[in-house]
Amino acid sequence: MRSDKLILILGAKGMLGSELSVVFEDLQPICWDIDDLDITNEDVVQKRIREISPSVIINASAYTNVDGAEDKQDIANRINGTAVGHLAKTARTIGAKLIHYSTDYVFNGENESGYKENDITDPLNAYGRSKLLGEQAVKNICEEYYIIRTSWLFGKKGKNFVDTMINIGKEKREVEVVDDQFGKPTYAVDLAERTRELIENKMTFGIYHITNEGQTSWFDFAKKIYEVSEMKVSVTPVSSEQFSRPAKRANYSSLINTKMPSSREWQVALKEYIKKQ
């Protein structure tokens, strides 16, 4: 029998999933990671999830290697696209709400003013295309869903820009960072808390943009990281062309939130994160 309060968190050991586990801790969620459930196996997904029959499925699992997706498109599409379809079908079958996370990479980054929830998607790279496949699966299959797009995620578990810059700063006194890509950093703790608000406030189903507020460049983000960390590192701006990577990046990918109260500014969240290190 389905519980009206049972929450299943997938990807529970990851950066976001671990924070979701904390935010929903009082509700005693079931927290699964890849060792507990292979979401790419449709039969296993249907069987395992139907056995516990949660009322809410939160999918924080994903293939997140943006550059790696260029060479491993099949894997990225299977995890970020096809597997999400398996979860969507299962959620619909048992009458559960599905929360799924997507990304600013579903946009082409040409709009300097940023992107609202209903703007046209046009991914620039394989990772973005794989995440769009997941969005489409949820929209086509589910009726009760929240697709949460976010960007520039940082937190205490998993690879992220903040930790990368701090680690580089321990080894080098100078670092080059691109200054022509703009977006909104997001603290995993804040994203997890906003996710709970979304559910508890019974917001209208659909797509939401949830980030910390304030647009910045990777260059200015890096400078702020060193300032807050009190590390004496010289940051030199370089163009995207000078810093070539396998996957093409968007120049402007700020996600505009038109549906929820604004989150705190990213600088405030960054200070809290670094203070807890």
Render each residue's pLDDT in the chain as its tens digit; 277 residues: 334 589 999 999 999 999 999 999 999 999 999 999 999 999 999 999 999 999 999 999 999 999 999 999 999 999 999 999 999 999 999 999 999 999 999 999 999 999 999 999 999 999 999 999 999 999 999 999 999 999 999 999 888 999 999 999 999 999 999 999 999 999 999 999 999 999 999 999 999 999 999 999 999 999 999 999 999 999 999 999 888 889 999 999 999 999 999 999 999 999 999 998 8
Architecture in CATH for domain 7-153+185-209? 3-Layer(aba) Sandwich (3.40)
pLDDT number for residue 1 = 33
Question: pTM above the 0.85 mark?
Answer: yes
Enter the DSSP assignment of 262: P
CA-based torsion, 227, 229, 234, 236: positive or negative:
negative
In angstroms and rounded to an integer, the radius of gyration of the C-alpha atoms of the chain is 19
pLDDT number for residue 3 = 45
The amino acid sitting at 193 is E
Residues of the chain within CATH 3.90.25.10 domain(s) are 160-183+214-254+264-275
What residues contact 227, with CB distance under 8 A and at least 6 apart?
A: none
Classify residue 212 as exposed, middle or buried by CB count within 10 Å of its CB (0-12, 13-18, 19+).
Answer: buried
Classify strands 56-59 and 206-209 as parallel, antiparallel or unpaired.
Answer: unpaired
| Runs of H (alpha helix) within the chain | 15-23, 42-52, 68-71, 73-77, 83-94, 126-141, 161-171, 188-200, 218-229, 266-275
**How far apart are alpha carbons 41 and 10 in whole angstroms?**
14
* Backbone dihedral angles phi then psi of residue 260, each to the nearest 5 degrees: -125, 160
pLDDT number for residue 60 = 97
Active site residues: 127
**How far apart are alpha carbons 274 and 277 in whole angstroms?**
5
Residues of the chain within CATH 3.40.50.720 domain(s) are 7-153+185-209
The amino acid sitting at 247 is A
pLDDT number for residue 2 = 39
pLDDT number for residue 243 = 82
pLDDT number for residue 178 = 95
Written as six digits, the tokens of 169 are 């700063």
Query: For the domain 160-183+214-254+264-275, what is the CATH code?
Result: 3.90.25.10
pLDDT number for residue 157 = 87
